Each structure stands twice: as C-alpha cells, then as structure tokens.
Amino acid sequence: MNESHLLQVGLAQISPVWLNKFKTLEKIKNAIVEAAHQKCELVVFGEALLPGYPFWLALTNGAEWNSPIQKEIHAHYIRNSIQIEEGELSDVCKLAKQHKIAIYLGMIERAQNRGGHSLYCSLVYISEFGEIKSVHRKLQPTYDERLTWSQGDGNGLKVHPLKQFTVGGLNCWENWMPLPRTALYGLGENLHIAVWPGSIRNTHDITRFIAKEGRSFVVSVSALMRKEDFPLDTPHIEKILENSPDILTDGGSCVASPDGEWVLEPVVNKEGVFTAVLDFNKVLEERQNFDAVGHYSRPDVTKLIVNRERQAIVHFTES
C-alpha cells in the first residue's frame, strides 16, 4: 500500500512442528512469503511458536522434582530453542528485507548473555529492512511456564515506526499487566501487538479492552495446536499423548479498532494468514476524547519508572 496512513497486516495463525526448530522455521518462512503475496506490510506470529509452547508440563506432571522425564524433555526443548547471536534468524531477516515486510515473531530464546542454557519466552521485532530491532523477554511466565521459562527484563519494552504507525508488543498475560502496557503507551504506541499460544478465551476480551484503553489498534495472534501436531519422535511422546486433549489451542487471532470494535473477529480452528487493513486516522479520531498518557494523564500525581537495562549476572570490564 502506498498510502502512509494505511497498513496491511497479516495474522499468521499456524501450528508449529512442535519442538523442532528447523521444520518450524520452514513453516514460518512459508507464512512470511504468503503474507508478502497478500501485500502485507507486517506479519505477526503467536507466542512461543518457534519451536512451540511447553504443553508437556501440564500433561506429564511437570512439577515433579528431579524427574528424569522432565529433565529429558527440557533438554530437548533447550536444543530446539533459538540463539539469535548464532544467526538462527538470519533467513527470516533476509525474507523481511526481500519482501519489505516487518515481522513480530514469538520464540523461545536461549540467551547467551545469561549463560546460554536458560530459556526466555521472547517476542522479536524485525523491521522491513531485515534488522532485529528489539527482543522482548517475557517479564513474568505464567503458572507452569515458570518450570521451563526464566523471568525476562525491561530491555525489550520498545516501540518501532512503521509508516504512520508506532508499533509495540507484549507476550500473552503480559497484556493484562497495566504498567508494561503504560510503558508502551508512553512511547507513543498506537498499534499494539499481543501474541498468545491460543485460544479465543484469551483474545476475545482483552483485545478489545486494550484497544479502548490505549485508543490504539490491537492485533492479537495465536498459534494452533492439536493432538496430531505432536511429532512422534518427541521424547516421552506416549506420556504426552496419553493426557492430551484433541485440541490444545484453537487460535482466536483477531484485530480490534481504537474504538474497541472488531476489524477482524476471532478466527477459530483454522490455519492460515488472515489479513486486515488499518487506517491511522482512526487513532487520531479516538484520541480526541481519551489519551491515557496524554491529555487524560496526570504525571504530577502518578508516574511510571521503567528499567530497560538488559539483565545479566556478570558484567566484565577490560583493563
């Protein structure tokens, strides 16, 4: 689209090749090409899609202490997580540059600055020029996620220009946290990206609420996961399948307008790249009567302080 106030977005609601980063990357790359063919200027993928959400924890007694089963599956997860510093997203970046399409990608990061063995649920923004501009590590893993994901930091609480829009994003239940949302609002966010493992139970309320609160467009993108999507070569697959429902996540990807109305209603139990056109003028119209960090704020009374330092246990100084 040539008009700078219009943005075509793609919601890539796909399933991973669970805990197989190489095959999942191929699906992601195919979805990027499909989004580009649909003239999308931004494509978004669900939380932890690469290489997949840790469903095994709820299905195999993940909290059992010192369990060989949990250790073996966790080791498999580590091996299939992503080390950005090793160039494991380079092909994705090349596609972004080739097709001039920005990307938000939910992935499991094996962070070298934290020793290279702990895992973070990260949301990566890649610009239309193929550059990684932010890596947001989920601040607080939810429930059993804490058995495999580590706590992130504020370094990735950043926004990015995209045509007339300013885009930012959060992972899953971070979207329920008012202070991280406020941090992004304060940076000028008017297109909010919310990524989820699924399902519609997560997206159908909070998507419209954030849109009304922020007077912003909100794009919620989820993955799909069905019992048949578990690869049979996964460690302890028999135990996983024994307790698995037929549908673990049903999607629910959707888009809300700054007035809280649907641009794209939640899509359930369907795989594909779904598109919507966003008009920046709607942001300006809805800010007339409410702006949470602008004319409707009182910084003399309440104010937020954000620490964006990338956290690490060791800081080296050279003589």
Active-site residue numbers?
Answer: 47, 138, 172
Residue with tokens 């080739």: 98
Classify residue 129 by burial, with Cβ atoms within 10 Å: 0-12, 13-18, 19+. Answer: exposed
SS3 211: helix
Residue with tokens 């596609």: 95
49 dihedral zone (left: phi>0; alpha: psi -120 to 50; beta): alpha
How many residues can be counted in the chain?
319
Quickly list DSSP for 141-178. Answer: --GGGGGTPPP--GGG---EEETTEEEEEEEGGGGG-H
Identify the CA nearest to 146 among candidates 248, 245, 54, 61.
54
Report whether 280 contacts 273 (CB < 8 A).
Answer: no
Q: Which pair of tokens denotes residue 151?
A: 């706590």
Report whether 130 contacts 117 (CB < 8 A).
Answer: no
Q: Is the peptide bond before 54 cis (omega within 30 degrees of 0)?
A: no
**R_g over Cα of the chain:** 19
Q: Which pair of tokens denotes residue 88?
A: 């494991």
Residues in a beta bridge with 194: 170, 220
Q: How far apart are CA 258 and CA 154, in angstroms?
A: 26
